[in-house]
Structure 1
Amino acid sequence: MKKRPLLFVALAICILLFGGCGKGGKFSPSYTEPNKASHNEVIDRHGQVENMERLDSFVERVQAKSKDKVRLIRYTIEGDPIYHDLDFDGTTLTLTYDTTEDKFGQGEVTSYKCKSIQKQESDTETKYTLEGCPKEYMGELLYISHDVEQQDYFAFELKYGEDKKNEIDTKEQVLTKDLPNGETMNISDFQLSTDQMNRIYKQMVYANYLQPKSLSNSCKDKSYDMYELNVWINDGERSYEWTSCDQSEDGLEMTNLAQTIVEIVEESL
């Protein structure tokens, strides 16, 4: 009888660690979601930029000669943060460059005085550059590539509308459109131009499509749109499902992405 408490302890540990040790038990490796950007932070994870609109607003305020501060955090391949603190006092823009948490960096804090910041944008790349800085600082603050032709493979499938009857599938080259009269239009061998694919890929990058999304399929409204997006890029795949009722930050961002895709595709119809 004295051995029974030890058995209970062993079972408790087993349940906590593995969610059950019998055949029905299931072990799920823990996943730590990357730190989310705060309101005044912009995070760059190897070209996937979160809260980029905050950097855009900083650019606008600098050009309007209005005081503003923002922090850009860029992560190295090893996952170490490098901080870029931007402070505009109405006349001078100060960049404080902090590599103290970069294990392979200089491990120091350096400040540079600059005159302004600019954003240059095309369908294949977006650049943020600092102007009027000392020669020892290179003016490119942030570079984002969204050139689809630099990828080995890129395709997507978007289903949308009530019961997801509409479909845009660049992988199988199929377009299905649910018409107002109840009929369905089907187009085989459907293809988008390189320009259109670049514009769509750009919007996906802007929406941080590679990052985890918290999306909802539940909806109390009687009339709502359903969305399903599958993306294939190189050897990877991403899948998302949500409805137009999802008013969360991720939900609104993904709905805006889906609507933009539909608008671009409809230009070719």
Structure 2
Amino acid sequence: MIRLLAFGILFLMAGCQDNEQAKTIELQENEPVSTDRVIDRNGEVENLALLHQFLKDTAENKQTSLELTRYTIEGAPIYWKVEYQEGEYSIEVDNREDNWGSKNIENYQCHELSEDVTGSLTDYNFKSCEDGYEINLLSVTNE
């Protein structure tokens, strides 16, 4: 009897999680395309011109910023804000809407943003970050 009750509770909890994921995916599909940020829907990247402008501005050592939304496989948004000033990148990653993430805002400082091309893929990676981190900003399939 206890096993049956425990199984019922687990089944109910699993159903609720699937329902939450379905709501997140539904919201993502109905969300209007934002033109003021780069959107990465699991490899389908929108507004890539904003990234290219950001790269151009940083190459010219101009103070600039970039906003990016990367969606998880389950459809949850993770918001990125990158600010560049005087050779330093300040990165804020907000994953509070990710059911499987740490649900917090993380901040990093990095000195380099590299463009690494491997075959048909270009990775934009932050390097020379505090505590030795290397952080992937975005991966884009070359056309």
Q: TM-score, normalised by structure 2?
A: 0.72
C-alpha contact (below 8 Å) 1:59/1:119 kept by paired residues: no
Q: Give the letter for the 2:108 counterpart.
A: Y
Instruction: Trace 1:100-179 onto structure 2 (pairs within 5 A).
Output: 100-121=96-117, 123-135=119-131, 137-144=133-140, 146=141
- Give the Cα–Cα distance (whole angstroms) in 1 for the partners of residues 94 and 31 of structure 2: 20
- Give the Cα–Cα distance (whole angstroms) in 2 for the partners of residues 90 and 134 of structure 1: 16
- Deviation for aligned residue 1:123: 5.0
Q: Give the letter for the 1:131 counterpart.
A: K
Instruction: Specify whether residues 55 and 108 from structure 1 end up closer, same or farther in structure 2 by C-alpha distance, changes over 3 A only.
Output: same
Instruction: Specify whether residues 118 and 136 from structure 1 end up closer, same or farther in structure 2 by C-alpha distance, changes over 3 A only.
Output: closer
- Give the Cα–Cα distance (whole angstroms) in 1 for the partners of residues 77 and 126 of structure 2: 20
Q: Give the letter for the 2:89 counterpart.
A: L
- Give the Cα–Cα distance (whole angstroms) in 2 for the partners of residues 35 and 80 of structure 1: 15
CA displacement, residues 199-229 of structure 1 (integer Å, 9 cap, x when unaligned)? xxx43xxxxxxxxxxxxxxxxxxxxxxxxxx
In our comparison, the structure showing a higher alpha carbon Rg is: 1
Give percent identity, aligned residues only.
Answer: 28
Q: Does 1:97 align with 2:75?
A: no
Aligned residues: CA RMSD = 1.8
C-alpha contact (below 8 Å) 1:62/1:117 kept by paired residues: no
Kindly indicate whether structure 1 or structure 2 has the higher relative contact order, using CA contacts under 8 Å at least 6 residues apart.
2
- Give the Cα–Cα distance (whole angstroms) in 2 for the partners of residues 74 and 110 of structure 1: 15
SS at 1:59 equivalent: helix
C-alpha contact (below 8 Å) 2:127/2:134 kept by paired residues: no
SS at 1:132 equivalent: strand
Q: Give the letter for the 1:37 counterpart.
A: S
Instruction: Trace 1:1-269 onto structure 2 (pairs within 5 A).
Output: 32-39=29-36, 41-121=37-117, 123-135=119-131, 137-144=133-140, 146=141, 202-203=142-143
Say how many residue pairs are matched: 115
Can you give the 5+ residue segments of structure 2 that lack an aligned partner in the other structure? 1-28
Instruction: Specify whether residues 73 and 57 from structure 1 end up closer, same or farther in structure 2 by C-alpha distance, changes over 3 A only.
Output: same
Q: TM-score, normalised by structure 1?
A: 0.40
- Deviation for aligned residue 1:111: 0.7
Is the deviation greater in 45-54 or in 117-126? 117-126
- Give the Cα–Cα distance (whole angstroms) in 2 for the partners of residues 101 and 140 of structure 1: 20
